Amino acid sequence: MTSKSAGKSVEARPVKRPRHLMDPNNLQRPVNDRSLTNVQRWVFSVLVVFTIAHLAVGVAIAAQFVNDDATAARIGLNIIAMVFGILGVAAGIAIHRKPPFDRRHAPWLLLGTIPGIVGLVLALS
Element (H, E) at 41: helix 33-64
Distance CA 121, CA 33 (A): 47
Per-residue three-class SS string for 60-93: HHHHHCCCCCCHHHHHHHHHHHHHHHHHHHHHHH
Q: What is the pLDDT along the chain (125 residues), one digit of tens a residue?
A: 555 556 666 677 766 767 677 777 777 766 667 777 889 999 999 999 999 999 999 999 999 999 878 899 999 999 999 999 999 999 999 999 999 999 999 999 999 999 999 999 998 88
The one-character DSSP state at 121 is: H
This prediction's pTM? 0.72
Distance CA 73, CA 29 (A): 55
Residue 119, SS3?
helix
